């Protein structure tokens, strides 16, 4: 059980601000739990906690992706609050991950609000565009970018610094079973991510490979996905070669026919 | 009317780097339209100088709805710049853009979101498990390279030019198929490592007090995590449940199991 | 070393009768060693022995199938007598399995006898058929069914209850080497079953998969065939997809040609 | 002449259940002819009532030789009932039956005898190894479901009707091929678990008294069981040895090995 | 540290002579390190050393093949000198392998010399050929064969018997780090062989199989290449079957076209 | 003009055995021309007896450049003998030989040098590891059989006769492809066993003094040997480095690592 000082709180706000800028870009992946928790841990003076909590949250939010413009429970806030809660309450990272969920949802709603409200920004840009004013166009975009990041940073500051006592009290009143229950759930949560990934990728043609990958991970000593990815690339490439050949065979049929037509005429 | 300015290698490098802002100003109404247009402005100004008319037309036409994966966006920018430089009709350019961003999104998502992300996360979290900073540092490094690689995407888009259109549509299927195999197989491999779904030592049956979990292990190790993923998949796919509802359900389930002493 | 009482003997007879009814139907697989031995064990008051002996016999008779109307050494009698011999002589299940073989052969011959003799039943049914008498037709069939099952039950009763002393004496006179020899042979017998399965299934196209399955079982931690079957289904499905595509390619050739013909004419 | 009676869903359920007796009255002369005919009688009587002539003709024509896998038999019954109901010519019906039962036997055997049986036996015997009743109980449950599934086969045959004929002949190859891959791969996987063929600790060679078995393990683990299965296969396939002779041979071999102290 | 006697030296010369005869034939593979080291070990009275050193050298020279008529560092001399140096200096086989390299290179140069010089033998044979003198032709060939083998044997004798003291002194002056360095290098040398094999075999079509083989060896309990080769044969055969089918499909296209042409005309 | 003498089975056996000398008298100028010719002389003398003219012509024409794999050489001899016996034109015979020896070399090398050699070496060195003579003895036995198998190659060449030419060119591709898959997969499997490339316990990093090697093991076991083989491959393929230079480089590297205490 530790307390977050005001200075730490403000530094954390800056961390979240920077990561939120990146979250809108999706460029450097500093918005991922792994990174934001690392920085937050450093600020809190317990880098190791930050690293471990970040790893746990990273895995759970692996499949909660923004793909297609959807807004999932917020990975930035989840990573951030997992460290903060683990730090202030002294609970393990799994439990803290479970308890960070309400904040991840809060940030999700904030994101949806901005994505809706920014229709006004579109209007402003349209005007600048018509005027051919590139400078103004750019400034408006940057403004929108910073405002959203700022909002996220303020929410983070409030949650981490302002709410620390209520959270501590709340969590301390928890019976062991409840805490353990959050851990159990935390261990299952990655299934949501994988389920979502499958939603997008799985089809009738590639389902057998799911089972092959599962078999490899279960029955060989692999404890890292890289070797499986390596074999997957190999298999995908073999499949590609076969498909090219079959395409060539079909094409041959058509070509033969084409040449034939000319003969016929 | 082709432009007088010749795009240089350094222009494309700058375009690639600057394109990281491609998603700022995101809105549900136009998605990435603002950031996409904004990213190209410095380069476009080199072509048209202070020709306000051209710039206004360019900005207005590019503010249509667009949504694609980031690296693919940069690729598209390279393509657009090459066509602008060649003086192609701008309506045509935008039509091509509209036809391509969808398929390219699928391709890019398969590569970056569904493959590079889980692999890099797996490697880095395993390095991070004992608290070593190598984990997050390597993670940052990998994605830094990924961001920087946009320079290459900008160049590729520019040099392929209009040829790109047919090449992509020809090979999109093959690449998407390969990415699907890769991604799905990786997901299969992630299941046993990522998901812990096992009954506790306390839950036994029969005379010998064998654990219930041992039955499942006997039938097939990790069969519960596998089945659980398919259950979740089914809830999403067939029951159209929301992510939030599923997450809350899991939490309730976890707490219930904990109180029952089953897990 | 235990004795089988008369009541137990009669109960065993009923068990065999019921299982023999199922054996002719091949519907519920109660004729398999696993099930008949389970029931027999219960009757003998040693369920565990029945279960273990049934498992051993089940595996050995896995490939001795009736496929194509052939009559192999009888699995029902094998499972039954393995329990009975293990119970009365106190030997292990492997040894008992070896010693049950003569009885399995006896039951095989009984089966062949009935399958031959039932030409007379065919004659009787033909008459009923011509008369359009469905009731009589059905009764004849049922009669044939019960008679064969009854015969099997009587043989089982005699073997289990009547012969128990001679068998005990016979087995007790065995030197250790002989007993161990039966165990060794029992451990090899499943090869017969697998060999027979291969007789029917193996061909030039699928032989490579045999080695892949063998490799998987030998070099990964699998100790159950289900994971291998899972991968086998995945591979068979991938193969199916390729074959469909190749068929489509060939068909394209023909279709192209077909269309062409019309043009030509 | 089509019948007046309309076959209901419940009729087909009953047909499926009752078809379990399909193999009673088995003889080498006609194989399953009796049971097959007998199974359909209650349903057929619904169609023709007490029309003795029709019933006599139906029974007589169906008493020809037939031999197929059980579930496939039920499928065929559904097919026949649909054609009887539609008033198709009975000789035609029987010809179709005669053409189908052979290929269907191969298909059904591949699925039920060669795949479901070894898999269910493997799972259940492993559960049974320490004497747990779960083993036989699960076994009974699996095959109970398999028997009950005949209801579905009856419905399938009925609803496909005559269309079935061409569909089956088209896909029989593909399904048989897939079943072959599955079955053969499972057999390959069963070899190391099912067959123990290893020389004992006592059989050594050379100066260091290394065991003979260690040589084989060095070359490839389980190479002896693998080779042994192929030997047996060879004896059946090329030497046409009888099952009985092979079994006796193995017993003699086992006893000999035991006396020599080699195993 | 042992000394090689004159008699042993002469016997080793005979061993090398015989193996060198085989090296020119490439018939019985007695020129491989595994075999020549075995025989040399027997001569030196330490068969076990010969066997172990031969195994180490065999693996290192696995890919240094003569394919296409090239002359690589000499495996015969490498296997021979590895035993000799291990025997005389008492160092381990890995170190001795490293130290044998200069001699393997010497023998390589000798081989290149003979392959160049034997143009004269070609001239002599041409004369015999024109005269139709089969006996002379044969004798010339045999002469060339024995001369080259004799030269190799003499070099081996000098290196093993004549140089043993200088080699001992040289090696004994070695610091531990250097000796260990040779071992480290010796453990890496097989990469050269595998790299050369890949040079000839690897192409765009088969590269995925390299990774599959690597995965199998790394993540299953296999410690022998035979099981992998077994699966490789299975996979190669499956690939062959697919390719045959695709060829047939393409051929069908052409055949269809062929038949069509006749119709058309 | 066909010969009067009929080649017997025993003639072919002798030809096969005697062909082991096919590579004696090797020179860069003509490669295997001398040994190849020499191997056939006893058989050819049976056909032409003491007809000096024929023998001189045969020897002279066969002294052209030839280089192929040994077993394939024997196969070619069988082919030539059958054509000589049939009285085919000798210039034609030599042309056929010249067309075939190249492709056959690729095929033979794939089978014997690239497949049989590493497999037999792997098995036998593993048997030899604890000093057991079984290793070299089995090795000698395997290659003895390989040498003796030339009898079969001689017969095959003779019996296929001219038909062989088209058959080979038709299937060469398929066989080479299969041999490539086999060989490359075996090489992949050899990497982890054959090559030791790992940093020592002494090389650590960070606060916890974790070994550097543990990072690589975490990313992927055996990734260093795998990468090393590709590095070597790259040096050969793209940098055209000589075998000698690479070997010396490795030795220098090993010594450096040893002095640094890194390995
Ligand atoms: O799906 C394409 C694309 O959609 C949105 O724009 C974002 O969520 C991106 O992360 C994603 O790549
Ligand atoms: O082979 C088809 C069929 O033949 C016989 O009727 C029986 O042995 C069945 O078990 C088998 O399914
Ligand atoms: O490459 C064909 C052939 O070339 C040379 O003649 C020798 O190195 C042989 O070992 C090899 O098989």
pLDDT tens-place string over residues D200-216: 888 887 666 778 888 78
Q: Return the pLDDT at E261.
A: 40
C226 and B219 within 8 Å at the Cβ level: the answer is yes
Q: Return the pLDDT at C194.
A: 82
Q: Does D218 reach chain E within 8 Å, measured CB to CB?
A: yes
Q: Return the pLDDT at F206.
A: 65
Q: Return the pLDDT at C193.
A: 76
Q: Which residue of A has its CA nearest to C257?
A: A257
Q: Which residue of C has its CA nearest to A265?
A: C264
Atom of ligand 1 nearest to the CA of A70: 8
Residues in chain C closer than 8 A to A264 (CB atoms): 260, 263-264
**Which residues neighbour B234 within 8 Å (Cβ) at sequence distance 6 or greater?**
none
**Which residues neighbour E25 within 8 Å (Cβ) at sequence distance 6 or greater?**
F20, F21, F22, F23, F24, F70
Tell me how far the alpha carbon of residue C190 is from its chain's centroid.
12
Q: List the single residue in A201, A231, A244 with the smallest CB-CB distance to B114.
A: A201
Token output for C62: 């896995």
Q: How far apart are CA C125 and CA C119, in angstroms?
A: 10
Q: What is the DSSP letter of E159?
A: I
Q: Does F181 reach chain A within 8 Å, measured CB to CB?
A: no
Ligand nearest the Cα atom of residue C200: 2
F127 and D208 within 8 Å at the Cβ level: the answer is no
* Mean pLDDT value of segment C213-236: 87
F126 and D206 within 8 Å at the Cβ level: the answer is no
**Start-end of H helices in F86-242:** 90-108, 117-128, 134-148, 150-160, 163-194, 212-219, 223-237
Confidence of residue A254 (pLDDT cuts 50, 70, 90): low
Ligand nearest the Cα atom of residue B65: 1
pLDDT tens-place string over residues B83-128: 999 888 999 899 888 888 887 887 788 778 877 887 788 778 877 8
Ligand 1 atom 5 nearest Cα: A69
Is the confidence at residue C235, as pLDDT, over 50? yes
Query: Lowest mean pLDDT: which of A61-70, B31-40, C20-29, F38-47?
Result: A61-70
Q: How far apart are CA B37 and CA F4, in angstroms?
A: 91
Q: Return the pLDDT at C261.
A: 40
Size of interface A-B (CB pairs under 8 A): 356
Are the CB atoms for C53 and C93 separated by under 8 Å?
yes
Tell me how far the alpha carbon of residue E16 is from its chain's centroid.
15
Token output for D257: 């090995």
pTM above 0.90, yes or no: no
Q: How far apart are CA D26 and CA C25, in angstroms?
A: 9
Q: How far apart are CA B203 and CA D176, in angstroms?
A: 43
D236 and C196 within 8 Å at the Cβ level: the answer is yes
Tell me how far the alpha carbon of residue C14 is from its chain's centroid.
20
pLDDT tens-place string over residues B193-246: 778 899 988 888 766 677 888 878 877 889 999 999 999 999 999 898 887 788
pLDDT tens-place string over residues A228-239: 889 999 999 999
| Separation of CA F69 and ligand 3 centre (Å) | 5
Q: How far apart are CA E159 and CA D247, in angstroms?
A: 63
Residues in chain C closer than 8 A to B218 (CB atoms): 224
Distance between start and end Cα atoms, chain D: 72
Q: Is the CB of E24 under 6 A from ligand 3?
A: no
Token output for D175: 């399904």
Nearest to B144 by CA among B186, B116, B122: B116
**Start-end of H helices in chain A:** 6-25, 33-43, 47-60, 75-89, 93-117, 119-130, 134-157, 164-172, 176-188, 190-201, 207-219, 225-264
E192 and F22 within 8 Å at the Cβ level: the answer is no
Are the CB atoms for E20 and E30 separated by under 8 Å?
no
Q: How far apart are CA D221 and CA C219, in angstroms?
A: 9
Nearest to C215 by CA among E139, D259, D191, A31: D191
Whether D contacts B, i.e. 3 or more CB pairs less than 8 A apart, is yes
Token output for A259: 């040449």
Ligand 1 atom 4 nearest Cα: A68
Q: What is the ipTM for the molecules in this complex?
A: 0.81
Q: How far apart are CA D103 and CA E146, in angstroms?
A: 68
**Under DSSP, is residue D210 helix (H, G, I), strand (E, B) or coil?**
strand
Confidence of residue A260 (pLDDT cuts 50, 70, 90): very low
Mean pLDDT taken over chain B:
88
A222 and E219 within 8 Å at the Cβ level: the answer is yes
Q: What is the DSSP letter of D64?
A: S
Tell me how far the alpha carbon of residue E58 is from its chain's centroid.
7
Q: Does B95 reach chain C within 8 Å, measured CB to CB?
A: no
Q: Return the pLDDT at B230.
A: 96
Q: List the single residue in A211, A219, A249 with the smallest CB-CB distance to C221.
A: A219
For the stretch B95-102, contacts whose Cβ atoms lie closer than 8 Å and that sit 24 or more positions apart, written own/partner, are B96/B162, B96/B165, B97/B66, B98/B64, B98/B66, B99/B165, B100/B76, B100/B165, B100/B168, B101/B66, B101/B67, B101/B68, B101/B72, B101/B73, B101/B76, B102/B68
Are the CB atoms for D16 and C107 separated by under 8 Å?
no
Angle (CA) D222-D224-D229 rounded to 5° is: 105
Q: How far apart are CA C116 and CA C126, in angstroms?
A: 17
Distance between start and end Cα atoms, chain C: 89
Is the confidence at residue F257, as pLDDT, over 90? yes
- Indicate if the alpha-carbon torsion angle A63, A66, A70, A71 is positive or negative: positive
Query: D40-61 in b/e burial notation, b at 16+ Cβ within 10 A?
Result: bbebbbbbbeeeeebbbbbbbe
Are the CB atoms for A141 and B34 separated by under 8 Å?
yes
- Among E residues 62-91, those touching chain D with beta carbons less than 8 Å apart: none
Owner of token pair 């490592």: B193
Mean pLDDT taken over chain D:
88
Q: How far apart are CA B20 and CA B150, in angstroms?
A: 8
Which of F17, F18, F22, F24 has the highest number of chain E CBs within 10 A, making it the mutation to test binding with E? F24
Q: Return the pLDDT at C263.
A: 39
What are the distances in angstroms from CA D34 to CA C31, D30, D41, D102, D263?
A: 21, 8, 11, 17, 50
Is the confidence at residue D120, as pLDDT, over 70? yes
| Separation of CA D69 and ligand 2 centre (Å) | 5
Rounded to the nearest angstrom, the minimum Cα separation between D137 and chain B is: 13
SS3 letters for A34-90?
HHHHHHHHHHCCCHHHHHHHHHHHHHHCCCCCCHHHCCCCCHHHHHHHHHHHHHHHC
Q: How far apart are CA E88 and CA E80, in angstroms?
A: 12
Residues in chain D closer than 8 A to C141 (CB atoms): 21, 24-25, 34-35, 38
Tell me how far the alpha carbon of residue C209 is from its chain's centroid.
25
Q: How far apart are CA E190 and CA E188, in angstroms?
A: 6
Q: Does C226 reach chain B within 8 Å, measured CB to CB?
A: yes
Q: Return the pLDDT at F224.
A: 95
Is the confidence at residue F215, as pLDDT, over 80? no
* Mean pLDDT value of segment D89-107: 86
SS3 letters for E13-44?
HHHHHHHHHHHHHCCCCCCCHHHHHHHHHHHC
Nearest to A12 by CA among A47, A57, A43: A43
Cross-strand bridge partners of residue D210? D205
Maximal CA-CA distance, chain A: 90
* Mean pLDDT value of segment D150-159: 95
F218 and A224 within 8 Å at the Cβ level: the answer is yes
Atom of ligand 1 nearest to the CA of B70: 12
Mean pLDDT taken over chain F:
88
Which of F173, F220, F225 has the highest number of chain A CBs within 10 A, making it the mutation to test binding with A? F220
D218 and F130 within 8 Å at the Cβ level: the answer is no
Confidence of residue A261 (pLDDT cuts 50, 70, 90): very low
Q: How far apart are CA E206 and CA D168, in angstroms?
A: 38
Atom of ligand 1 nearest to the CA of B26: 6
Q: How far apart are CA F216 and CA F200, in angstroms?
A: 12
* Mean pLDDT value of segment B49-54: 91
Token output for E2: 């042992």
Q: Is the CB of F115 under 6 A from ligand 3?
A: no
Is the confidence at residue A257, as pLDDT, over 70? no
Token output for C99: 């010693």
Q: Does D220 reach chain E within 8 Å, measured CB to CB?
A: yes
Q: How far apart are CA B233 and CA C97, in angstroms?
A: 47
Q: Return the pLDDT at F126.
A: 77
pLDDT tens-place string over residues E173-220: 878 888 788 778 877 877 887 887 788 788 999 999 999 999 999 988
Chains interfacing with D (3 or more CB pairs < 8 Å): B, C, E, F
Residue of D23, D29, D69, D107 to test ligand 2 pocket, by largest number of atoms within 8 Å of CB: D69
| Separation of CA B20 and ligand 1 centre (Å) | 13
Q: Does A235 reach chain F within 8 Å, measured CB to CB?
A: no
Nearest to A62 by CA among A191, A234, A238, A203: A191
SS3 letters for chain B?
CCCCCCCCHHHHHHHHHHHHHHHCCCECCCECHHHHHHHHHHHHHHHHCCCHHHHHHHHHHHCCCECCCHHHHHHHHHHHHHHHHCCCCHHHHHHHHHHHHHHHHHHHHHHHHHHHHHHHHHHHHHHHCCCCCHHHHHHHHHHHHHHHCHHHHHHHHHHHCCHHHHHHHHHHHHHHHHHHHHHHHHHHHHHHHHCCCCCCCCCEECCCCEEHHHHHHHHCCCHHHHHHHHHHHHHHHCCCCCHHHHHHHHHHHHHHHHHHCCC
Token output for C50: 């029945």
Residues in chain A closer than 8 A to F220 (CB atoms): 224, 226-227, 230
Beta strands in E61-120 (DSSP E): none
Q: How far apart are CA A148 and CA A152, in angstroms?
A: 6
Are the CB atoms for A72 and A65 separated by under 8 Å?
yes
Mean pLDDT taken over chain A:
87
Query: Lowest mean pLDDT: which of A64-68, C11-15, D256-260, F109-113?
Result: A64-68
* Mean pLDDT value of segment F122-137: 84
* Gyration radius of chain D's alpha carbons: 25
Is the confidence at residue F260, as pLDDT, over 60? yes
Maximal CA-CA distance, chain F: 89
């Amino acid at each position: 059980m530790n307390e977050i000082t005001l200075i730490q709180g403000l530094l954390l706000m800056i961390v979240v601000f920077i990561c939120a800028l990146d979250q809108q870009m999706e460029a450097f992946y500093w918005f991922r739990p792994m990174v934001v928790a690392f920085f937050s841990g450093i600020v809190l003076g317990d880098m190791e906690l930050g690293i471990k909590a970040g790893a746990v949250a990273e895995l759970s939010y692996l499949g909660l992706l923004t793909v297609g413009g959807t807004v999932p429970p917020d990975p930035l806030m989840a990573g951030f609050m997992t460290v903060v809660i683990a730090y202030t309450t002294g609970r393990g990272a799994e439990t803290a991950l479970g308890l960070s969920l309400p904040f991840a949802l809060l940030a999700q709603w904030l994101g949806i609000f901005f994505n809706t409200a920014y229709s006004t920004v579109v209007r402003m840009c349209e005007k600048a565009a018509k005027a051919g004013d590139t400078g103004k166009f750019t400034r408006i975009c940057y403004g929108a970018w910073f405002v959203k990041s700022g909002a996220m940073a303020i929410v983070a500051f409030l949650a981490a610094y302002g709410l620390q006592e209520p959270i501590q009290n709340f969590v301390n009143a928890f019976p062991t079973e409840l805490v353990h229950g959050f851990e159990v759930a935390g261990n299952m949560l990655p299934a949501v991510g994988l389920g979502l990934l499958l939603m997008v990728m799985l089809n009738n043609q590639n389902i057998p490979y799911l089972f092959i990958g599962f078999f490899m991970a279960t029955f060989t000593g692999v404890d890292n996905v890289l070797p499986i990815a390596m074999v997957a690339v190999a298999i995908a490439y073999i499949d590609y070669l076969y498909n090219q050949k079959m395409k060539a065979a079909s094409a041959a049929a058509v070509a033969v026919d084409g040449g034939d037509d000319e003969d016929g005429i | 009317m082709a432009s007088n300015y010749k795009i240089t290698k350094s222009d494309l490098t700058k375009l690639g780097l600057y394109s990281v802002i491609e998603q700022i100003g995101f809105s549900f109404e136009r998605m990435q339209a603002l950031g996409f247009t904004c990213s190209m402005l410095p380069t476009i100004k080199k072509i048209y100088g202070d020709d306000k008319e051209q710039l206004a037309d360019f900005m207005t036409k590019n503010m249509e709805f667009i949504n694609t994966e980031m690296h693919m966006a940069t690729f598209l920018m390279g393509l657009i710049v090459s066509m602008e430089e060649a003086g192609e009709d701008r309506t045509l350019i935008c039509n091509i853009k509209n036809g391509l961003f969808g398929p390219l999104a699928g391709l890019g998502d398969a590569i970056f979101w569904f493959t590079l992300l889980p692999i890099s996360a797996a490697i880095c979290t395993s390095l991070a498990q004992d608290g070593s900073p190598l984990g997050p540092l390597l993670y940052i490094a990998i994605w830094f390279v990924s961001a920087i690689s946009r320079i290459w995407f900008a160049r590729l888009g520019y040099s392929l030019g209009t040829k790109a259109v047919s090449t992509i549509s020809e090979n999109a299927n093959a690449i998407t198929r390969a990415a699907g195999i890769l991604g799905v197989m990786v997901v299969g491999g992630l299941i046993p490592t990522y998901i812990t779904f096992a009954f506790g030592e306390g839950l036994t049956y029969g005379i010998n007090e064998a654990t219930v979990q041992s039955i499942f292990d006997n039938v097939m190790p990790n069969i519960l995590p596998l089945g659980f993923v398919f259950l979740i998949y089914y809830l999403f796919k067939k029951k159209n449940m929301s992510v939030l509802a599923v997450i809350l359900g899991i939490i309730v389930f976890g707490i219930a199991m904990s109180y029952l002493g089953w897990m």
